Structure 1
Amino acid sequence: MAYLSVSGVKLPDGVEIFTAGVLLPINSAFNPILYSPYIETKMIYLWKRFCPNRNQTPNRDAIELNASAPFLW
């Protein structure tokens, strides 16, 4: 919101109050859950289970790097 205000965007009245009164407390309640080691362990498990090919290091010699496909590796 600060960047929007500085850039000249007119925010509706009450946006700051809504953010401070509703969104920030919800964020504060979820942060300990989201950043706990248990959740991190579960996320790693799910990533390895559903994206097994991404766990291997790619063979960079077999990938042709060019400007049209810069994110293959």
Structure 2
Amino acid sequence: MACRYSQQVWHTVSQILGILNTTLAQNVSLLDWWLTKRNGLNKVQKKGLDSTFMLVSWRIWKERND
């Protein structure tokens, strides 16, 4: 998450999803951030967030390797 591109992608996705407090702290991993954001969501919302998290992570990885 030190990459500006990745930070911008996650920020944009978070805004689209309406997730508050989207800024990642320096010492918080992306996994911890994601798990925290799942708290308080219902089953359908968690499923959507999980799918989005996996898709965005995969696309960032693909972009980085291209």
* Shorter-chain TM-score above 0.5: no
When the two structures are superposed, what TM-score results if normalisation uses the length of structure 1? 0.29
With CA pairs under 8 Å and 6+ residues apart, which has the higher RCO, 1 or 2?
A: 2
When the two structures are superposed, what TM-score results if normalisation uses the length of structure 2? 0.31
Q: Which has the larger radius of gyration?
A: 1
